[in-house]
Amino acid sequence: MVAKVDFYNGSTLISSDTTAPYTAIWTPSQAGSYTLSAIATDSQGASSKSGSITVVVVASQQTPSITNVFPSSGTPGAEIYIMGSNLSAVNGVKFNGVAASTFSVDSSTLVIARVPSNSTTGSVSISAGGGNAQSAGEFNILPTKNTAVISQIYADGGRSWGDYSHDFVELYNPGVVPLSLTGWSLQIAIPGNSGWFVIPLSGSIPSRGYYLVGLAGSNRYSNLPKTDANGDFDLGGRQGKVALMKSTSAIKGQTPVGSSALVDFVGYGQANAYEGSYAAIAPDRYYSILREKNADTNTNGWDFIIDYANPRNTATPVISTELRR
C-alpha cells in the first residue's frame, strides 16, 4: 500500500503527498527544459521510481512595448537599438512598414536591427507572440552617401621585376549598402600625354568591399584576380593622376578638384595636381600605394602608405568584423 509519493524536478524535491490521489502543484520560475519524476514509498518503506518526463516551459507571451529607438535617425543598413520591455519573443521588426531582414533579440529589453534598404521615415514597429508595439516617435531615414575612395594604386605591372602582370587601381566602398557605379568612370592622366583617359565603370561595389580596375600590362600572362573593369592605360611609376568621377565626360584641365562630378582623386609622385597640400608617395616595383584604413582626409600625402601590392575585387570577402565597427 502506497504511503507517500515524492515529486522531483531533476533531483530537487517539489513536494510530497501522503493521500491519494497523489498530486503536486509546481510553478517553474523561468522558461527552460525540466525533467520531472516521482518516487512512491509504501508503508513497509519499499520505494519505486517512476519513469521521468521532460517538460519544456516557454516564456509567457506578454505584450511587448517600445520605449526608445536609438539613434533616432540613420542610413539604410545602419544598426539601430530598439529598447523596451517583453522583447524576448520579437519575431519581426519593421521600419515604417518595411520589414528589416536583419535583426537579433539581445535580451527582453533590447532588439538590434538593421535599417532595411527600401524603408522611409516613419515609426518603428515590432511583432511578438504577445502582440505588436510601435515607437512613439518617427525614425528618420538619412540618405545614403554615394561615395567611394581610390584605395590602392599599382603602377609596375608587367615588368620583369613587378609582382603583378598589370597595373591596377582598386576602389573601396565605405558605405553599408552596395554602391552602384552606373554612369561613373575612372580617369587616368599619363605623363607625356595631354588630357585624361576615361574608363567607364559598371556594376557596383559591395558594402565595405572592393572593385578592381585592371590597366596596361603584359598580355602573355595575367595574375591579377578577376578584374571588374579594364582599360589599357599604362600608369607611370614616378608620377600619375587617377580620378573617380560621377560622370563619363573627360576631365578638362590638369585637375578635377572643384568639379561637382569628383568623387575621389589621387595625384602621386611628381604629379602636377593632387588633393590637399601634398601628393601621395609614388608606388614602386612590388609595391602599391594603399589608402591607410581607407580613410580620406583629402590630402593625398597624408592618406597613402606604400606596401606590398594586394589587389582586391568585388568577390573579395568583406571582413565581418568591419560590420561591427
**Which residues make up the interface to Ca ion (CB under 5 A)?**
155, 167, 234-235, 264, 275, 296, 298
Q: How many C-alpha atoms does 274 have within 13 Å on its Cβ side?
A: 24
- 280 secondary structure, DSSP code: B
Nearer CB in complex with Ca ion: 109/298: 298
Q: How far is the CB of 184 from Ca ion (least distance, A)?
A: 15
> 10 Å Cβ neighbour count for 299?
15
Q: Which is nearer to Ca ion, 165 or 313 (CB)?
A: 165
Q: Quote the least distance from Cβ 167 to Ca ion, whole Å.
A: 4
Q: Which is nearer to Ca ion, 98 or 273 (CB)?
A: 273
Q: How far is the CB of 164 from Ca ion (least distance, A)?
A: 10
The CB-of-179 to Ca ion minimum distance in angstroms stands at 15
Cβ proximity to Ca ion: between 74 and 311 the closer is 311
Instruction: Kindly state the smallest distance separating residue 58's Cβ from Ca ion, in Å.
Output: 54
CB of 158 to Ca ion, least distance (A): 7
Q: How many CA atoms lie within 13 A of 241 on its CB side?
A: 27
303, containing H or E segment: helix 300-303
| Residue 155 beta carbon to Ca ion: minimum distance, rounded to whole angstroms | 4
The amino acid present at 129, given as its one-letter code, is G
Nearer to Ca ion, 90 or 243 (CB): 243
* C-alpha to C-alpha distance for 183 and 249, rounded to whole angstroms: 10
The candidate with the shortest Cα–Cα distance to 288, out of 150, 187, 174, 193, is: 150
Looking at beta carbons only, is 141 or 263 nearer to Ca ion?
263
Query: Which of 117/147 has CB closer to Ca ion?
Result: 147
262, three cell numbers:
569628383
Sheet holding 90-95, edge to edge: 98-99, 90-95, 124-128, 131-134
Residues near 38 by beta carbon (within 8 Å), at least 6 away in sequence: 5, 6, 7, 8, 22, 24, 49, 50
Hey, what amino acid is at 143? P
Q: What is the phi/psi pair of residue 301, to 5°? A: -65, -25
> How far apart (Å, rounded) are the C-alpha atoms in residues 216 and 236?
11
